[in-house]
Structure 1
Amino acid sequence: MDALFTVPTPKNEPVNTYAPGTPERASLQAKLSELASKEHDLDMFIAGDWRRGEGEAIKVVQPHKHSHVLGVTHAATSSQAAQAVAAAKGAKRTWATMDFADRASIFLRAAELIAGPYRDALNAATMLGQSKSAAQAEIDSACELIDFLRFNVAFAERIYRQQAESSRGMWNRTDHRPIDGFVYAVTPFNFTAIAGNLPTSPALMGNTVVWKPATTQQFAASFLMEILAEAGLPDGVINMVTGPGPDISDVVLADPDLGGIHFTGSTRVFQHLWKTVGENISSYRAYPRLVGETGGKDFIVAHPSADLEQLAVATARGAFEYQGQKCSAVSRTYMPRSLWENGLRDRLLEITSQIKYGDVSDFSNFGGAVIDERAYNKHTALFKRLADDSEANVIAGGTADDSEGYFVQPTVIEATNPEHEVFREEYFGPITSVYVYDDKDFDSVVRQAADVAPYALTGGVFANDREAIAGAMDELRWSAGNFYINDKPTGAVVGQQPFGGGRGSGTNDKAGSWQNLVRWVSPRSIKENFVPPREWSYPHQG
């Protein structure tokens, strides 16, 4: 077709409230009951076929009701991982040469399927499998993922339209090719939207993908794969392999055609992947692109001029939404003594005491359980260490119960030493720590908070004093890739706050923006000379 197409202008997907009496509430509750009523086969998807893993069987359970098995997945063997790699490599040429309009239409259709007939299924699967509340599932598995798909298409078009200048007598063009080789996408348990974005964003740019979702997110991941297939994704473009990562990664990272890694997860795992790529670097056909978003130790620094109620609400929501299992969760705060001792402490503890975790199918609960036994044990081990710690006092929560689900109560720790582990270590649970400082020490506290943790993902300042805001922004410039003023440092929206951080938090390639997509192309400069010279010599020789 001879036409220059323009993609639809994206708009952020409206968020349903699921308030009592709304039709979406009743519809979602019915889907929750339906999905929980049977065990599901959670197979892998390679070269357009659903296949049973040949390794160990793994039960995928509800974290808030761990005796309830949602489905069974099976670990991929090394040979099956190799099949996924072969499928991705085999599909590369046809997919890379497909018109952008055709590729884009697949992902735009997937967005419509999620917004419409699959919305309840994907939200319910996320709630049951990852223990998210209805509100948290809606902003994640529905709205954010829809936004990723729609906005990425518009960002891709913007990249393709970036062309070089041309002098008279020639035409310069830029061919935004996909990168050499295939992409390995490794996705976490905590966001279905991330699980969808990490394989689809490279694929949109013409790359083929081997996708390894977290086992604890496999229930929703299987629905994602089903949606992409229904949207018309050709066989072999995205190949989903199931089970633990080491056996899969050993195969993928040893392949000479590895072109890139798109990762979200722990800092430790990303560093291992990076190290392995480094060790294998001479065996690759091209230098692999490494894009990762990892851990965080995210902060709120409050100035004495801050609004007490806004600060208390932001701290509680930022720390305890989705049980603190967001890489952006508020896990350390710095509170001025004048506010803390004159109402802020009492108000924060009051809110914390009212937060109830339980079965997320009961919409009266604020949240659910932490994801699995390993996470639960990590948090309870911290509580035991703090029991005899003279520098840190648990003033709310600090209790847990795994008899039915992996429940850890919202916990607030007040610590007198700003170098304590509670201000440096990432716990990834409903745990936040408070350091109370004398009002006159605001500037020095900001300086100390800037570098005490090895991460630099999100953070913010609460103040009504503009000079204090400006000073904190400058001092904390390198301490957070997403910085917030008078707002909790969670809940980045695609197209509005591109997300990512530096230092131990990742490569800061900003998911939800063109900056991420440009990592998945390899530009080729083309020069066409309409009037080539006929003389070999130059004027200065005369």
Structure 2
Amino acid sequence: MSNAYFHIEEPKNEHYLSYAPGTPERDELKKTLTELKKDELEIPAVINGKEIKTDRTIDLHPPHDLNHKLGTVHLCGEKEVKQAIEGALEARQKWAETPWQDRAAIFLRAADIITGPWRSKMNAVTMLAQSKTPHQSEIESVGELADFLRFNAWYLTKIYKDQPYSPDGMWNRVEYRPLEGFVFAVSPFNFTAIAGNLPAAPALCGNVVIWKPSIESVYSSWFVLQALKAAGLPDGVIQFLPGEGADVGDPALESEHLSGLHFTGSEGTFNHLWKTIGKNIDKYRTYPRIVGETGGKDFIFAHNSADIDRLVPATVRGAFEYQGQKCSAASRMYVPKSIWDDFSKKLKAEVKNVKMGDVEDFSNFMGAVISRKAFDKISEYIDYVKESDDAEIIAGGGYDDSKGYFIEPTVVVTTDPKFRTMKEEIFGPVLTIYVYEDEKFEETLDLCDGTSKYALTGAIWARDRYTINHMANRLKNSAGNFYINDKPTGAVVNQQPFGGARKSGTNDKAGSMVNLYRWISMRSIKETYAGPKEFEYPYMGEEK
């Protein structure tokens, strides 16, 4: 039992290293990449701290180098899911009763491991698994992941400290209990940081978690688990179950002990999970908390007063960093006709300078897309544009899978504001631009707001403050993360809490206290010091 209130200092966001030529971190990262590629890793399930191997495996390859084998992963099914749930429930009571400061210490220590002795390792495994450049890997698999772990611990102290008013004669207090049962965490391929935060945030609050990492990035997720284990995470708190979606998801959602879903992934998968939970609602012991971030059709909207020389690099970075495989990546753009000639000329020149290839060559700005499935989907969109009368490709448009899943940064211009690539999520390096008449500025704002079913991120570009305010108000519901004179990507924990509404998710804002509130269940306690000895109230007395 703790006999003190423990204070956690407000964290500072992790500093990013540059990996510029001549820096020690660059040499260390290259050395780590070489060492990791020497070994083939066998990734099992982890249930109650024990490594479980199954009779189904698949091989893992870097998306940019399909001839190299990183290792194999064992896939789970109903048998392993049931074992994991049973083990998690056994671990739950002890974990839930563990003092909050002891839980927090584990995740704070993991953050220091990731940013300290494991820094080059976390970067390297993310580069190999997800074809990220050193910069893209550094800002998320090290910086953002550590920020999640540190700030969540700090947010938890603020939540616990929030207590109700107590009048004379009583003591009112609130305790913040973990949910009953287990939380099912389903993580995406594109961010190691998100893969770590989805199970870690509920676990920090005292919950036990069944974690299904994406098979496409299970290589880096495995090292997240190892970092948590090195920091002292007890067995059974986070059960690690790689597998195909339905093989793990269906039996997990069938359990009466499901208490929450923490999800990042596709809209279709989230809809399926939500429907399944609804179908099973009568069997659950509690109403599951559902938190999800899905897709986006994120926009850049330029006014004719926009600073073109800054708009161009923001567009290139916003659309093509990490091959456009960010939920926040710019994939549609609105440019006024009066600045189009100047902007398009400079944009095409910049896109032409984008270098793409193996991420182990640090001169590359882009790597490969994640998988064969992604490659086929994105290339189909490009072919559709090439055959269309309503759009043309003005930059890029090539793709090649002979060595890896490489797709050029592609810029499409369309005369139809409702063109397919203006509406549908592509999740790749394809940006579609609609050039609007300056006098149709208001009408185009309506198009921007109404074209997509998503509302995740968006950016507006203008100089005049009245115009900026007007655009921001008109697009108030178009994006949960809104940027003024910046690219629509790069949200930082505790600076820009992340999430969107409409079909982009539940907007429970990862990187803020809002998300942690979803993984706790409040209990109000009232203690009376000296209660009444009679049941009568004063109004019941006789009149004189």
Cα deviation code 1:27-50 (max 9, x no counterpart):
000000111112111112111112
1:125 Cα deviation from its structure 2 partner: 0.3
Q: Quick one: distance in 2 between partners of 1:50 and 1:351?
A: 48
Q: 1:223-262 residue pairs with structure 2 within 5 A?
A: 223-262=223-262
CA–CA separation in structure 2 for the residues paired with 1:181 and 1:29: 44
Render the CA deviation track for 1:337-381: whole Å, top value 9, x for unaligned.
Answer: 11111x110111111111111100000000200000000000111
Q: What is the RMSD of the two structures over their aligned residues, measured on CA atoms?
A: 0.7
TM-score, normalised to structure 1's length? 0.99
Q: Match for residue 16 of structure 2? A: 15
Could you tell me which residue of structure 2 aligns to residue 199 of structure 1? 199
Q: Structure 1 stretches of 5 or more lacking a match?
A: none
Equivalent residue, structure 2, for 1:157: 157
Number of aligned pairs?
540
CA contact (8 A) 2:409 2:430 kept: yes
Residue 50 in 1 paired to residue 29 in 2? no
Q: CA deviation at 1:77?
A: 2.4
Q: Which residue of 2 aligns with 1:124?
A: 124
Where does residue 190 of structure 2 map in the other structure? 190
Q: Distance in 1 between matches of 2:146 and 2:166?
A: 38
Letter in structure 2 aligned against 1:282: D
1:238, 1:59 → 2: CA distance? 24
Contact persistence 1:299–1:332 (CA under 8 A) = yes
Question: Within the alignment, does 1:510 sit opposite 2:509 as a pair?
Answer: yes
Distance in 1 separating the partners of 2:45 and 2:110: 19
- Cα shift at 1:306: 0.4
Give the secondary structure class of the aligned counterpart of 2:413.
strand
Q: In structure 2, how many angstroms separate the alpha carbons of the residues matched to 1:224 and 1:50?
A: 15
Give how far 1:421 is off.
1.0
Equivalent-residue separation in structure 2 for 1:81 and 1:117 (angstroms):
33
Percent of pairs with identical residues = 51
Query: Could you tell me which residue of structure 2 aligns to residue 61 of structure 1?
Result: 61
Amino acid at match of 1:513: S
SS at match of 1:69: coil
| Structure 1 stretches of at least 4 aligned residues deviating more than 6 Å after TM superposition | none
Which amino acid in the other structure matches residue 229 of structure 1?
K
Q: Distance in 2 between matches of 1:324 and 1:418?
A: 21
Tell me, what secondary structure is at the counterpart of 1:66? coil
Contact map agreement 2:381 2:421 (CA 8 A) in 1:
no
SS of 1:68 mapped into structure 2? coil
Give 1:388 shift: 2.0
Where does 1:173-184 land on structure 2 (aligned, <5 Å)? 173-184=173-184
Aligned-partner Cα distance in 1 for 2:386–2:146: 45
TM-score by length of 2: 0.98
Tell me the equivalent position of 1:447.
Answer: 446
In the alignment, the residues of structure 1 paired with residue 227 and residue 370 of structure 2 have an alpha-carbon distance, to the nearest angstrom, of 24
Report the CA distance between 1:55 and its aligned residue: 4.0
* Structure 2 letter corresponding to 1:395: I
Is contact 1:178-1:207 (8 Å) kept?
yes
Residue 319 of structure 1 and its aligned partner are, at CA, apart by: 0.3
Does 1:426 find its partner at 2:437? no
**Alignment match, 2:348:** 349
- Give the whole-Å Cα distance in 2 for the aligned partners of 1:160 and 1:349: 53
Kindly state the Cα deviation for residue 9 of structure 1 after the two structures are TM-superposed.
Answer: 1.9
String of CA shifts for 1:222-260, please: whole Å, max 9, x gaps.
111111111000110001101212111111000000000
Residue of structure 2 in register with 1:32 after alignment: 33
Secondary structure of the residue that 2:310 maps to in structure 1?
helix
How far the C-alpha of 1:165 sits from its partner, in A, is 0.6
Q: CA deviation at 1:93?
A: 0.6
After superposition, give the CA deviation of every residue in 1:63-97 in whole Å (9 maximum; x if it has no partner): 00112110100111211111111111111111011
2:457 partner amino acid: T
Alpha-carbon distance in 1 for matches of 2:55, 2:375? 26
Quote the Cα distance in structure 1 between the aligned partners of 2:176 and 2:154.
15
Gaps of 5+ in 2: none
1:269 corresponds in structure 2 to 269
Q: Secondary structure at the match of 1:84?
A: helix
Instruction: Supply the AA of the counterpart residue of 2:278.
Output: G
Which AA in structure 2 matches 1:355? V
Give, in whole Å, the separation in 1 of the partners of 2:534 and 2:77.
63
Map of 1:378 onto structure 2? 377
CA distance in 1: counterparts of 2:67 and 2:531, whole angstroms = 75
Q: Which residue of 1 aligns with 2:300?
A: 300
Partner of 2:483: 484
Query: Which deviates more, 81-90 or 133-142?
Result: 81-90
Give 1:307 deviation, angstroms.
0.2
Structure 1 distance, partners of 2:306, 2:384, is: 33
2:198 partner letter: L
Aligned to 1:100: 100
Aligned AA (1:378) = K
**In the alignment, structure 1 residue 475 sits paired with structure 2 residue 474:** yes
1:466-499, Cα deviation, whole Å (9 max, x unpaired): 1111111111100100000000010000000000
Corresponding residue for residue 524 of structure 1: 523
State the partner residue of 2:6: 5
Q: Does the Cα contact within 8 Å between 1:147 and 1:494 map onto a contact in 2?
A: yes
Which residue of structure 1 aligns with residue 499 of structure 2? Answer: 500
Q: Which amino acid aligns with 2:92?
A: K
- The yes-or-no answer on 1:41 pairing with 2:39 is no
